[in-house]
Structure 1
Amino acid sequence: MRLFRLLPALLALATNTAAGQPADAPYALTEAMIPMRDGVKLYTRILAPRAPARSLPLLMVRTPYGVSGNTPQNVSARWNFMTKDTPADGYLFVFQDLRGKFRSEGQFVMQRPPRANRADPKAIDESTDAYDTIAWLLINVPNNNGRVGMTGVSYDGWTTAMAMLDPHPALKAASPQASPADMWKGDDFHHNGAFRLSYGFEYATMMESSKDVQQFAMDAFDTYEWYLRLGSLKTVNDKLLKGTIPTWNDFAQHPNFDAFWQRQAMTGYLDKVTVPALHVAGWWDQEDFYGPVTIYRELEKHDKSNNNFLVVGPWNHGGWMRGEGASLGPIQFGSPTARFFRDSVMAPFFAMHLKDAPALTMPEALVFESGSNVWKRYDTWPPKAAVSPRALYMREGGALAWSPPAATSPTPYDAYVSDPAKPVPYRQRPVQMTYGPGSTWSTWLTEDQRFVHNRPDVLSWELPVLTEDLTIAGDLTVTLHAATSGTDADYVVKLIDVYPDSGMRDLKMNGYQFMVANDVTRARFRKSLEKPVPLTPNVPEALTIDLHTQAYTFKKGHRVMVQVQSTWFPLIDRNPQTFVPNIFEAKPSDFRAATQRIYRSSTRASKIVLPVVTEIRP
C-alpha cells in the first residue's frame, strides 16, 4: 500500500484554519484533502485535543451528510461521554465527507457495492477509502497511538461495516450502528420487495439532487395527499425527475431481487469477524432495524474469538446517541437507556480496545425488554434457553387463541376490501415529509393504532385480558392463509400491545394500541424473490411473514392484538392488485380494488408464533 505524505499545501491549509479558531476551545481543527489510491481526494476534519496527555487513538466517522458541523466548540459536547470531560486523555476525532459529497472529490454512489475485482490496485469502494484514510492519518496526525476505531449511525454505520470487510491493520474496534444490510429485503428502500415509497423518493432526491443535502420541494403539507395525487410510480420520472436521480432510476429498473440488489447486500460479504464489533439497533427504528441485527447474525456464524456483540434498546433511529432515552413518544421506559448505553457500553468498549482500559464485561447480546423495562443479558440471540415458540391463532369473532380452530366454519375467513384509491395511512394525518418541519417520522412506530382500528379495510384479532405477564424474547413469524380477488396483493401485519381501558395515570394511554412489531410482504415474491409470479384469484395460499425479533413483556391487564391490512400509505407504494411485470410501469387502469380473505379454519389456520419466555431469567 502506498505511503502518504503531508503536502505543503495541506499543511498551509491546516495552519490557516487553525489561526481562526477560538483560543479557549479544547480541540484544534485541522482540515485535509486526503488522497485515495485512485487520486480522488476526500475532505476530512481532524479535531485533536490542544494538549494531549499522551498518544491518543483515532476515532473516525465517514458520512455523506457533511462534516462541517464538527467544530472545536461542539465536539466536546457531542462526544463528552467518550472523554469523560477530559479531552486531553480522550481521542483524536476524524470526520470525513464521502466521495462526491460536500467538499470531497469524486462521484457519489448510493450504497456503493464492494469492488468486484479486489486484485485491481486502483479499484475502490468504501472499504478501500477507509483503508487509505487510516494509512494517511497514521503518518500525518501527530500524537496518535497507532490504533483506530470507527463508528456511525445509519449510512455512517454502513460505512463502518464496510470498513470491516478489508480493514487496515490499525482498525482495532468498530461499532456499526443502525447499518442497513439489504436495501431490498428489509432496510430503507424496500421490505420484502414492497417499495418504501415516501422514504425512497424523499431520501433519493435529498441525497442526489446536489453535492450537499437538499429536500425535494413538495407543494402539500400532507404528503398522503401529495403522493395520492401523484398517481402511479411511472409519473415520477415522466413528470418530476426526468431520469436525473440515479437511485430512483435503479428503483424503477430493478423492482425484483436481481443481481443489482444482490451485489449491494452485505450478507454475501460477511464471512469473517475482522475486528471487535459492537452492533447497535433500536426496537422502534423507523429506518434500519433489519440491518444491524442481520449483520450481527451473519458475522456470528464466523465468530470464533468472541468479538461480535449486539445491543438492542428501546430506541428509534439513532436514539441511543442523543438524549436520555427514558421514553419514546408516549411510551415510558423507566430509566435513561440511551445514556446508559453511551456511558456504560459504548465508551468502555472503545476504551478497552483503543486505550487498554479495563475490560468490559459484555454479554453476547444486551437487550432491553420493554414492558417490564429491564436490561437482559443473553449468551446468544435469539436466546435458546428458557424460550418456547407458541402459536396464537386468528379465530372467529375477532379473537386470538392459543388453540387452533377445531373445525371449519361456514365462513372460514375474515374479509375486507382493499382499495388502492383509498389506502390506509401508515401514520396519523397529516403525514408530513420524512424530515420536514414538525414531522412525526421519528416516532411514528409508537403511534396509537386506534386511528385505523375498526376501519373496514383493517382486520383485528385479540386475546382476552391477560391474567399474568406474557414475555417474549426472540424471533416472530406469521403464517397467513390468504386469498385475493386480484392477482397481486400486499399484506401488512402488526403485533400490538393494547393497554388497559382504564386506570392509566396518563389518561390518553387508556386503551392505547402500541405496535410492538410489524412488517409487510408483497405476495408476488412468495415463491421467488428474483422472478415474481401472480396470484390465482380467490385461491388461498400460505404466506410467511417475518416480524423479525423482539424482547417484550405484555403486562398483566393488557391484551395482545394482531392487525392485518393491505395498504400502508405512503410508506409503502400502492400495489395495483393486478399483477404487472414491474409496478414502476403500472398504468392507472391497473389499480383495482380487491377483496382480501384471511383464513382461520382447521385446515388453513392463520397464526403468529411468539417466542414465549417459559421461566424467569436472572
Structure 2
Amino acid sequence: MQHDDVDTGPAPRAARPGRRPRTLALVVAATVLAGTVTGAAPVAAEQPTAPDLDPAVTGDPFFSYDRPAEHGVAVEEAVRVPLRDGAFVVCDVSRPAGADGSPAPGRFPGIVNDYTAYGRASGPDWLVTRGYVVLNCDPRGSGDSPGSLDPFSAQEQRDNADVVDWLGTREYSTGEVGQFGTSYGAHIALLTATQQPEHLTTVVPVNGISDWYENTVYHGGVETPRINAWQASTAPETLVTYRQHPLYDDYWRERSVKADWDRLDVPVLQVNGWYDRYRDGMVENLVARPQNVWMVSGPWEHARTDGLSTGAYLAWFDHWLKDLPGAPLPAARITSYEGPRPGAGTGWTQFATWPAPGVRSQQVRFTRDGRLATAGGRPGTSTYPVNPSDGQNPDEAAADATRLTWTTDPLEEDLVLAGSVHVALQAAFSASDGNIAVRLHDVAPDGTVTRVSAGWLKASHRQGHTAEVPVEPGRTYELGVDVWPTHYRFPAGHSLRLAVTSGDWPDMGADAPAGTVSVRVGAGGSTAALPLLDTPAG
C-alpha cells in the first residue's frame, strides 16, 4: 500500500511448616544502528522440527535424564473423589504395581494429569512404572462427573485443589503431589497453584495462560473468534457469558494467574512454543516469578513439543517430588530455541534471565516512504482504509500490499530479536473507535514474507481494559501495542517489517468500524522499540 505524503508539521513461596523448601548492528534505511510429544499441525509460520534437546546440543543433562522402569501399572477406574461442597468428580487412579499386577506396597508421590473437560486421559504409564501414582479426572460437569462445567472458574480451581489434596492424603501417598497438563490442563494447573492446596509441590504447564481474558478471549480488548469452535464444543454457555464481559472485571480476575502472581509460589516448569497462542502468558509468568519459574521454549505451535523427551519431565518430578540426588534441574532458567529453522541461527540456547542478558532496546522510526530508520525524516501521515477481515489470505506478501508497511533495508548482518517489540503508534481514526493489528514479518531476498509475531489493540482500550476511553474522530492518539514475544534471527540479506492494519482474523474479530486510519510518521511520529540480542551468528 502506498504511504501518503502529507506534511503535518513539527512509553518460592516460603516453605510451609513441615514441608521441604523447594548490540548488534541493524542496517535500516542505509544507516548502521549501533519421548517426544507431538500434537496439532503448525499453522502460523515456518515452524521446523527442533533437534533433540540432548547434552550434545545444550550441554544440559536435564534433557536426556532417564532411569529404568521398576513397576507395572494397576488401574482403579471410576473412583469418586469427594469435593468440599459435597459433590464429587470421577477419576481413574493408576498406581505402581508388583509382578502380580496388584498395587505395590509403600508410598509414592502423586501426579494429577491433564485436568481437562475432554474426557479422562490415561497414564502416562512411563510415570507410573517409575514410581508415581497418576490421577486422571473428569472435571465437574464433564464426562462422568455431575454438575455444571465452568472452565477455569474459581469453582473449578477449588475442585482441582480438592483433588490434589485428596491424592496427597491417600495411604499410598508420600504427601507430595505435582500437576501436569497441556493447554486447558496447563491453564487450570497454573490457576490451581494460586489456590495453594496443601499437598501441591510443583506444576508443569505446557502452553498455559497468565490471563484468560488477555491471552485468549479479548486480544488487546478485541474479541477473538479463534476460540469460538472450542467454546461451542466444550462450554457453549460461554459464547454468551464471555460477550457479557467485554471489559476486564472480577469475572476475568477470577480466571487470571497474573491477578494472583504473589500466590504462584511452587516450582513451575513452563513449556512454551514461540509460535504458540499462549507464548505471551508464559513469558509474563516467567518475568513475574523469576525465583520459582523455569521455561523451555521451542519453535513450536500449539501443543507441540517436538524433540523434547519425556526424560525432562521425569527429571523435574524426580527432583521435586522424590528428591532424588541424581535428578537435575535445567542448567539455566530459560532454554530457548532461536528461530526460525535449523541452520539459520544458534538453535538451542540457555539464559539465566529473561529478557536475556545482552538484550538492548533499539528505537526505530516509521518514515514517510515506508522505511524503518533511526531518523524519522520530515513529518507526515500514512493512511489506509479499515480492513477488518484482513488475515484470511495466507499469502502474507500479497496481503502486505493492502496494508501499511515499514521495512528495513536488507540487513548487512544477522539481527536477533529476543523479547517483545513495543510499537508506539501515533494514529487517528475517522470513526469513534478502531482496532489495530501490528504484524512482525521476516522478508526474504526473494520477497517471501514470513509472519513472526503480532500484537493487537482496540483504540478505546489504550489506557487499559477495565474501562473504555473516548476516541474522538480525527484526533491523534498514542497507542502502545506490544507485539507478542519471540526469539528469532533475521539472517543477513533479509529485512524486518512491521505491517499495520485493522484486522487479523482469527486473532481479532472483524468488528472495526468502517472508515480510515491515519498514522503519523517521520520526526515526532510513530516508533518501535526492538529487543536486540547481541549474539554470535549461527
Q: TM-score, normalised by structure 2?
A: 0.79
Q: Pick from 71, 85, 106: which aligns with 1:38?
A: 85
SS at match of 1:43: strand
1:414 aligned to 2:382? yes
Distance verdict in 2 for CA 1:311–1:94, change over 3 Å? same
Whether the 8 Å CA contact 1:127–1:167 is kept in 2: the answer is no
Matched, 1:188 2:157: no
Higher relative contact order (CA 8 A, sep 6+): 2
Using the size of structure 1 for normalisation, the TM-score is 0.69
Distance across 2 between alignment mates of 1:66 and 1:27 = 23
The partner residue of 1:374 within 334, 347, 355 is 347
User: Is contact 1:192-1:521 (8 Å) kept?
Assistant: yes
The alpha-carbon distance between structure 1 residues 90 and 513, as it changes in their structure 2 partners (threshold 3 A), is: farther
Give me the whole-angstrom Cα distance separating, in 2, the residues matched to 1:463 and 1:255: 37
Q: Distance in 2 between matches of 1:204 and 1:349?
A: 33
**2:293 aligned residue:** 308
Counterpart position of 2:208: 179
Please give the alpha-carbon distance, in whole angstroms, between the structure 2 residues aligned to 1:135 and 1:613: 44
Deviations 1:51-109 (A, max 9, x none): 259643222124233344526xxx44xxx4xx5xxx53342221111111111122211
The C-alpha deviation readout for 1:438-463, integer Å capped at 9, x for no partner, is xxxxxxxxxx52241212xx122211
Task: Give the equivalent residue in structure 1 for 2:167.
Answer: 137
Q: Residue type of the partner of 2:132?
A: Y
Q: CA deviation at 1:276?
A: 1.4
- Change in 2 beyond 3 A, CA 1:58/1:564: same
C-alpha RMSD of matched pairs (Å):
2.5
What is the CA distance between 1:155 and its match in structure 2?
Answer: 1.6
Which 5+ residue runs of structure 1 have no aligned equivalent? 1-24, 114-124, 210-244, 326-335, 429-447, 502-510, 578-592
Amino acid at match of 2:322: K
1:159 corresponds, among 185, 188, 196, to 188
Distance, in Å, in 2 between the alignment partners of 1:41 and 1:49 is 24
Q: Which runs of 5+ in 2 are unaligned?
A: 1-70, 99-103
Contact kept in structure 1, 2:334 and 2:351, CA below 8 Å: yes
Note the C-alpha offset of 1:496. Answer: 0.8
Residue 292 (structure 2) pairs with residue 292 (structure 1): no
Shift of 1:160: 1.0
Aligned to 1:452: 399
Alignment check: 8 A CA contact 1:126 1:162 kept:
no
How far residue 289 of structure 1 moved from its aligned partner, in angstroms, is 2.0
Task: Report how far residue 575 of structure 1 moved.
Answer: 2.5
Residue identity matched to 2:294: F
- Give the SS at the match of 1:319: coil
Please report how far the alpha carbon of residue 544 of structure 1 lies from its aligned counterpart in structure 2 after TM superposition: 0.6
Distance 2:431 2:118 in 1: 46
Identity of aligned residues (%): 24
CA 1:387–1:293: 2 relative to 1, 3 Å: closer
Q: Which protein is richer in helix relative to its size?
A: 1
| 1:266-281 matches, cutoff 5 A | 266-281=257-272
Tell me the CA shift for residue 495 of structure 1: 0.9
Of 484, 504, 508 in structure 1, the residue corresponding to residue 429 of structure 2 is 484
Alpha carbons of 1:257 and 1:274: their partners in 2 closer, same or farther (altered >3 Å)?
closer
Give, in whole Å, the separation in 1 of the partners of 2:506 and 2:420.
27
In structure 2, C-alpha distance between the alignment counterparts of 1:564 and 1:370, rounded to whole Å: 23
| C-alpha contact (below 8 Å) 1:425/1:570 kept by paired residues | yes
Distance 2:206 2:174 in 1: 25
Matched, 1:530 2:451: no
Displacement of 1:610 in angstroms is 0.8
Distance 1:53 1:547 in 2: 53
Q: 1:27 to 1:183 in 2, by over 3 A?
A: same
Determine the C-alpha separation between the residues in 2 that align with 1:528 and 1:273: 24
- Say whether residues 1:206 and 2:206 are aligned partners: no
Residues 28 and 393 of structure 1: CA distance in aligned 2, closer, same or farther (over 3 Å): same
Name which of 510, 515, 521 aligns with 1:574: 510
Residue 427 of structure 1, CA deviation: 5.2
Give how far 1:127 is off.
4.1
Q: Which amino acid is 2:527 matched to?
A: K
Sort the Cα spacing of 1:313 and 1:374 in 2 relative to 1 into closer, same or farther, 3 A. Answer: same
For residue 547 of structure 1, what is the aligned residue in structure 2? 483
Given that 1:62 and 1:98 are in contact with CA atoms closer than 8 Å, whether structure 2 keeps it comes out as: no
User: Which amino acid in structure 1 is aligned with residue 419 of structure 2?
Assistant: G
Contact 2:376 2:522 in 1 (8 A): yes
Question: How many Å separate the matches in 2 of 1:274 and 1:262?
Answer: 18
Letter in 1 for 2:384: Y
Counterpart for residue 214 of structure 1: none
The alignment covers a number of residue pairs equal to: 456
The question of whether the paired residues in 2 share the 8 Å contact of 1:256 and 1:529 is answered with yes
Q: Of residues 425, 428, 447 in structure 1, which corresponds to 2:391?
A: 425
Is the alpha carbon distance of 1:549 and 1:308 closer, same or farther for their aligned partners in structure 2, counting shifts above 3 Å? Answer: same
